[in-house]
A and B are shown apart, each in its own frame.
Chain A
Amino acid sequence: MEKRVVFQARWLPWLLLLPQLAVIGVFFFWPAAQALIQSVQTEDPFGLRREFAGLQNFERLWQSESYLASFKTTALFSALVAFFGIAIALALATFADRILRGATAYRTLLILPYAVAPVVAGVLWMFMFSPSIGVLSWLLTQMGFDWNHLIHSGHAMALIVMAAVWKQISYNFLFFLAGLQSVPKSLIEAAAIDGAGPWRRFWSIQFPLLSPTTFFLLVINVVYAFFDTFAIVDATTQGGPGQSTNILVYKVYHDGFKNLDLGGSAAQSVVLMVIVIALTVVQFRYVEKKVNY
């Protein structure tokens, strides 16, 4: 789609674009190019010498057990976050869609976590599950379950998944609610007249019609789990215990800033870049074609 009516000016459009182009040039493309270059170089920790190293950094990554473990951790983490985030939000949205009275009040409360910073979400959940003082961990202990996310890696993973899902429910909920409200009422009424109960109607009509929304949210939630959960991990587990919650984004920060492994960190950045590009492409292909029945 293009405008038929345009203005004639030689320099004005460039002037208008200048601020945006300057910012993306200096803070996006230049650093991204640097990351690409550094990923094929090795540098000593003092930054004195740099040598071309080919794909050595990448080879080192693939041979590094901690990197592969971090990959698996991230995959598991994002799968859990996406699954629970979507399932809980879908259940809430489906019931919210049935409710006539008080719907606005429920919605207002349910969207609150969106406003909460990831690091605050992390702190709140850590506080509830802290082995020594947490209310919920105390409750678990009373029930005979020994919760300690500082020792047990499974518990640590569960903790960051809970905090991440809690924060993401609002977002998923709003999209599902919008999706459900655009399902034609006539379809549901026709099914009801034919004798289909609410359960049947959900699985045969609403759920299939929501599949574009679900697919879209799946991509968004994976992106969220990959890239926006740094603060949650940093506030709660800091990648531990051991390496059990060391997700890729946390590792790239840690290796670069704490261990000063520039080449390795740059190579990790490049791998992450490839992942974002892949996810963005999936998302935009979906926007064009939509998943449809």
Chain B
Amino acid sequence: MIENRPFLTFISHAVMWLGVLLVAFPLYLAFVASTHLPQDIVQAPMPLLPGAHLWESYQAALFGTGPLAGDKPPVAHMMIVSFVTAMVIALGKIAISLLSAFAVVYFRFPLRTLCFWAIFVTLMLPVEVRILPTYKVVADLGMLNSYAGLTIPLIASATATFLFRQFFLTVPDELAEAARMDGAGPMRFFKDILLPLSKTSMAALFVIQFIYGWNQYLWPLLATTSESMYPIVLGIRSMLGSSGESMVAWNLVMATAILAMIPPAIVVILMQKWFVKGLVDTEK
């Protein structure tokens, strides 16, 4: 603090409260809606305090059982799909990026620079710019409606490769030299020295990539046609359907929305330190 200005400190806190209100109000409202009966929600204005139907709503949304159950498929299975997808994408990205970064940093071979650039250029080819042909490739390979189809096309990562490359370049040469003197082969060096050193970067990347995988929307929309392979974010969309707004079971939609937020929110909050580091590092 440079000078003591009580009024300015007060204003600062007021602005932060306003910001928190802006950020938290939609989340709060979703939670409130998930604890009421649908007929209470559609009567504007809806109640602003939590209601008494929390358990029934979540039971209905998660398992499709209980007094409030609708005709929508249970969300529990979608959460498993989302979780498996997000984990495979996050861990897969980290694994294949570690390997390729190791290859381009610690070996000399023809076309090395070209390989690196080929990986790097994929930054400029997000799914959105090659929607149809990618869909066609996955369909031809028979990977629609499978975990392979949901994850493998998203597993390449230019940012992760770049991050690990930058990190490996800062690892002292003496370590590799010492390992070589002691007769360790490249894979031994990778496993026993590089991997333990990269733990921090791996944790940081994991947070970012888990959220990325969990929140994927466009790709699953293309790659899945059967509801049994829907991740939860698609499930929400299908619950809204195209029916009129008063027909929507808002309590279940909002319970699903809350359920869809909980896993990534937990990852962000528990791993906040890694998250901030990962965010800042991957953009360097």
Contacts and interface: CB of A to CB of B under 8 A. Distances in A.
A117 B133 contact: no
Contact of B132 (A92, A139, A265, A287): A265
Contact of B261 (A91, A120, A139, A277): A120
B125 A192 contact: no
Nearest to B12: A95
B87 to A, nearest CB: 16
Interface stretch (A14-22, A48-56, A63-71): A14-22
A151 interface: no
A5 B129 contact: no
A180 B133 CA distance: 44
B256 to A, nearest CB: 9
A12 interface: yes
B132 A266 contact: yes
Given A3-B176, A111-B272, A256-B132, A32 B125 contact: yes
Interface residues of B, number: 107
A75 interface: no
A220 interface: yes
A115 B261 contact: yes
Interface in A126-158: 127-128, 130, 132-135, 137-139
A252 to B, nearest CB: 6
A20 B96 contact: yes
Instruction: Say whether chain A's binding surface is mostly helix, strand, loop, or mixed.
Output: helix
B19 A106 contact: yes
Given A19-B99, A95-B15, A115 B236 contact: no
Given A20-B161, A21-B118, A98 B9 contact: yes
Contacts of A171: 279
B195 interface: no
A31 B246 contact: no
Name, among A17, A231, A276, the residue most crowded by chain B CB atoms within 10 Å (CB to CB): A17
Contact of A19 (B13, B96, B122, B284): B96
B80 interface: no
Contacts of A262: 132
A272 interface: yes
Nearest to A275: B129
B203 interface: no
Name, among A95, A128, A132, A139, the residue most crowded by chain B CB atoms within 10 Å (CB to CB): A95
Contact of A280 (B123, B152, B264): B123
Given A110-B23, A112-B24, A230-B217, A123 B240 contact: yes
A121 B12 CA distance: 27
A124 B27 contact: yes
Interface stretch (B49-57, B58-66, B71-79, B106-114): B106-114
Contacts of A216: 283
A21 B27 CA distance: 41
Contacts of B217: 117-119, 230-231, 234
B102 interface: yes
A28 interface: yes
Contact of A109 (B20, B41, B104): B20
A34 interface: yes
Contact of A20 (B100, B187, B275, B283): B100
B209 to A, nearest CB: 13
A132 B109 CA distance: 65
B182 interface: no
Interface of A: 1, 3-7, 9-10, 12-14, 16-17, 19-21, 23-24, 26-32, 34-35, 38, 88, 91-92, 95-96, 98-100, 102, 106, 108-121, 123-125, 127-128, 130, 132-135, 137-139, 166, 169-171, 174-175, 178, 188-189, 192, 198, 216, 220, 227, 230-231, 234-235, 249, 252-253, 256-257, 262, 265-266, 269-270, 272-273, 276-277, 280, 287
Given A21-B118, A88-B19, A262-B132, 4 more contacts: A20-B100, A119-B234, A139-B45, A174-B276
In order of increasing CB-CB distance, the 6 nearest A-B pairs are: A31-B133, A34-B133, A117-B215, A115-B264, A231-B217, A16-B103
25 contacts: A16-B99, A29-B118, A32-B130, A38-B133, A88-B22, A91-B15, A98-B12, A109-B20, A117-B215, A117-B264, A118-B215, A124-B29, A127-B29, A132-B42, A133-B43, A171-B279, A174-B279, A230-B128, A231-B233, A235-B237, A252-B131, A253-B131, A273-B124, A280-B124, A287-B284
